[in-house]
A and B are shown apart, each in its own frame.
Chain A
């Protein structure tokens, strides 16, 4: 198992390196001259030259790439041009919003979606099943930012239960901080929950028809007992795959949702940075996001191997 983990780790580290390279290349090369891009069209050649010097843009690309990577290992993400602060500090500050938001959304989506999927599968063909799956179809189709808007309209404006946006730092008032994350988490979690519900249901229904469930019944279990004892674990395999992939969507969603609710998270940071053309800030922030996604993929692969012994051991000779 450990060797499996190491192999996967190496593979994903490679992917991360490639991601960093592409990000760097894209942001360095695509805009043409980064310094000119940052300063805008009306910049004087002197200003551009000065900025190039300041940012060390005249060094060869490969050298800059490795010094960037190396810097990240020691926590130095460079200096934000537009905000004048170390990028590392900026990002760290924002993570206090984005991480809890993502985690709560993940828990909500699994906590709502999976039980619904299981329920629908157990009552396959019934009214409840059809109803739940119709809801799931809708859930998948709802744009999360639109749903966020509706939630604000209902819970903040009409009912005044929850704040419509903004964020109170954890240090000041943990309860208020938490409260301002509730609606955004729900908006994020809804489409994911719907997807998970459908995948779970499909996986369970597939499992129901499999041969080993038939064998379990032949041993003396009823259908529902057999599915519960033997099927669920097998059904989790495709669900796990989807969970891992969903995280990437979730991360993308935070960018949008933080916009709707005016939350000072990593998503907003990237957004503002892009609008301000602060390439250094953009690239480090993007890498952090990619790291999060890849890290989740790694954990998912591990979980998969933990559940499915076929991935870890040799086949029969």
Chain B
């Protein structure tokens, strides 16, 4: 006797933190994209003579210890951080979601195995995996992507499995089976669309975590390598000079914070959109 929740379409954009978060994230993303085509000053060029300058009309955010323009560095760095985090999310989702769905669909020993492997991956501190991979295969942004991606797999598997399990018992899945649909078809048509929002929320969160992870890896020298740059790599360089010029550390750090906050706000907002609707409907049932 309750009413089904309306599939959330345009209501999404009305939530305040979602709006702020989404907009802010997009702004940063855009800045990063722009840097593919253009930056104020090329970052490969070292100009020690112009090192450590304060913000000026020529250099809006000043220069670093090698004379590179901070603004350009931030732009390129943002792009790298986003790309690494995004590909890591893609790896995690593309492998993790099918695994989670398979676990939910098949149950039994297959599910048990997948769960144990999941537990194991979660228990292994992500950073250690990353360090192992990047050391053995050599430090690079790509290996950082793979390492963080591997850590994302169990997260997405868990979310997908949880969502699929709660849907499995719903009657419309039973009806689909009666209609002769096979498990893959059912997953595609009935389960995936209905857990899509859960996965998107998780993806936003993992994106934020990925940016932090990339920063940590680059900071210890195992991620992005020079002459490319990422936000974490900038911080690595900054450590030596932090006393002389704190802004070298502050600027990239604050950028990381802003991006992560924006992504988290967007993710939280998305999640709030989904949950309270269902919860309030449970309350509305009591309104009868």
Whether A and B touch (Cβ < 8 Å) is answered with: yes
Structural contact, B219 and A145, CB atoms closer than 8 A: yes
A143 touches B253 (CB 8 A): yes
Interface: B215 (CB within 8 A): yes
Q: In the complex, how many residues of chain A place their beta carbon closer than 8 angstroms to a beta carbon of chain B?
A: 47
Query: Which label, helix, strand, loop or mixed, suits the secondary structure of the B interface?
Result: helix
* Contact among A14, A26, A157, A256 for B132, CB-based, below 8 A: A26
The yes or no answer to A271 lying at the interface (CB within 8 A) is yes
Chain A 19-31 near chain B by CB (<8 Å), digits 1 or 0: 1001000110011
Chain A residue nearest to B232 in the complex (CB): A143
A39-47, A48-56, A111-119, A245-253 - interface stretch: A245-253
Interface of A is mostly: helix
Say whether B125 contacts A293, CB under 8 Å. Answer: yes
> A275 interface residue, CB < 8 Å from B?
yes
A289 is an interface residue with CB less than 8 A from chain B: yes
**B1 to chain A: closest CB distance in Å?**
18
* Interface residues on chain B, number (Cβ under 8 Å): 40
Given A270-B131, A274-B135, are A249 and B256 neighbors across the interface (CB < 8 Å)? no
Chain B 98-138 interface residues, beta-carbon cutoff 8 Å to A? 116-117, 119-120, 122-128, 131-132, 135-137
Residues of B within 8 A of A255 (CB): 125, 127-128, 131, 220
Contact call B123/A293, Cβ cutoff below 8 A: yes
Question: Which of B41-49, B65-73, B189-197, B258-266 contacts the other chain?
Answer: B258-266
A141 and B220: CB pair below 8 A? Answer: no
Which residues of the partner chain A approach B208 to less than 8 Å between Cβ atoms? Answer: 141
Is there contact, CB below 8 Å, between B125 and A289? Answer: yes
A138-164 vs B, CB cutoff 8 Å, 1 = contact: the mask equals 101111011001101100010000000
A residues less than 8 Å from B122 (CB atoms)? 245, 248
Stretch at the interface among B87-95, B175-183, B241-249: B241-249
Do the beta carbons of B132 and A286 come within 8 Å of each other?
Answer: yes
Q: Inside 8 A of B27's CB, which chain A residues have their CB?
A: none
Is B132 in contact with A274, judged by CB distance below 8 angstroms? Answer: yes
Q: Chain A 262-280 against B: per-residue CB contact (8 Å), 1 yes, 0 no?
A: 0000000011001101000
Does B225 lie at the interface of the complex (its beta carbon under 8 Å from any beta carbon of A)?
Answer: no
Nearest CB to that of A248 among chain B residues?
B125
Which residues from B are CB-within-8-Å of A152? 242
The CA-CA distance from A256 to B136 in the complex, in Å, is 19
A/B interface sample: 9 pairs, CB < 8 A: A18-B116, A22-B120, A140-B264, A146-B235, A252-B128, A255-B125, A255-B220, A270-B128, A290-B128
Interface residues of B (CB under 8 A from A): 116-117, 119-120, 122-128, 131-132, 135-137, 208, 212, 215-216, 219-220, 232, 235, 238-239, 242-243, 246, 249, 253, 256-258, 260-261, 264-265, 279, 283
Can you add 18 more A-B contacts, CB < 8 Å, to A150-B249, A249-B125, A293-B124?
Answer: A15-B120, A37-B136, A138-B257, A140-B260, A142-B257, A143-B232, A145-B219, A145-B235, A146-B256, A209-B279, A209-B283, A248-B124, A248-B126, A255-B127, A255-B220, A286-B128, A290-B123, A293-B125
